[in-house]
Amino acid sequence: MLWIFYGLPFVTPDSILVVTINGVGLAMEVAYITIFFIFAKKKSRFKVIIWIMIELLFLGVVATCTLLLNHTHEKRSRIVGILCVIFGVLMYTSPLTIMKKVITTKSVKYMPFYLSLANFLNGVIWVTFALIRFDLYILIGNGLGALSGAVQLILYACYYKSTPTDDEDEDEKPPTELQLAVFTSS
C-alpha cells in the first residue's frame, strides 16, 4: 500500500506503472488474506485483523502528514520513498533470518527455493525498471532485494546437496508402535 501511495500523481508524478503493478499485488494479497480468513482459527484471524488495522493506521498517518506538511512533489516522494525503501528492505531480507539455520544444519530444508528465486527475480525486474526511469528509491530497496535474493540462491546452491531427501528423513525416524507390532508379529 505504501508503494501505491508513492506512485500516486500527487506524491510522485508519472509513476502510474508503480501504482498499477503494486495495485495488482495488493489485490493478490487481499485474495490471499480472504482465503486465510476462510480457513483460519478465530485466534489467528484476530491477530491478522490487529496487524491489518495497525498497517492501515500507519498508512493513514503517513498519508495525512505527507500531504498536509509537505507541499512539493520532491518532499513528498522523498519521505514516502524512504519509508518504502525501509519496508522493502525488511521484506526482502526477512528470508535471510533463516540463513543461520541453513548454515548450522547444512540443510536448505527450511529455505524454499522458489521463494528465494522469486525474491531475486522480483528485485532484478524492479532494479531494471528503476534504472530505466532512474528512481533512486525503487533502485535502492530493490537493489538490496536482488542482492539478498542472490545470497539466498548462492546459499541454496552451497547446501542443496547436503540436504537429506524426505525418504532419508523417514529412514531416520524411530518406528511407530504399529510398525513395531507388525514387525514383531511376522
Q: What is the pLDDT of residue 31?
A: 96
Q: What is the pLDDT of residue 172?
A: 53
pLDDT tens, N- to C-terminus, the chain (186 residues): 999 999 999 999 988 999 999 999 999 999 999 999 999 999 999 999 999 999 999 999 999 999 999 889 899 999 999 999 999 888 888 877 788 888 888 888 888 889 889 989 999 999 999 999 899 999 999 999 899 899 989 988 888 887 766 655 554 555 555 444 444 444
Q: What is the pLDDT of residue 183?
A: 44
Q: What is the pLDDT of residue 97?
A: 77
- Predicted TM-score (pTM) of the model is 0.77
Q: What is the pLDDT of residue 165?
A: 65
Domain ranges in the chain are 2-163
Q: What is the share, in percent, of the chain residues with pLDDT greater than 70?
A: 88
| CA angle at 179 for the pair 174 and 185, rounded to the nearest 5° | 135
Q: What is the pLDDT of residue 64?
A: 95
Residue among 19, 10, 138, 4 at smallest CA distance from 70 = 10
Q: What is the pLDDT of residue 80?
A: 94
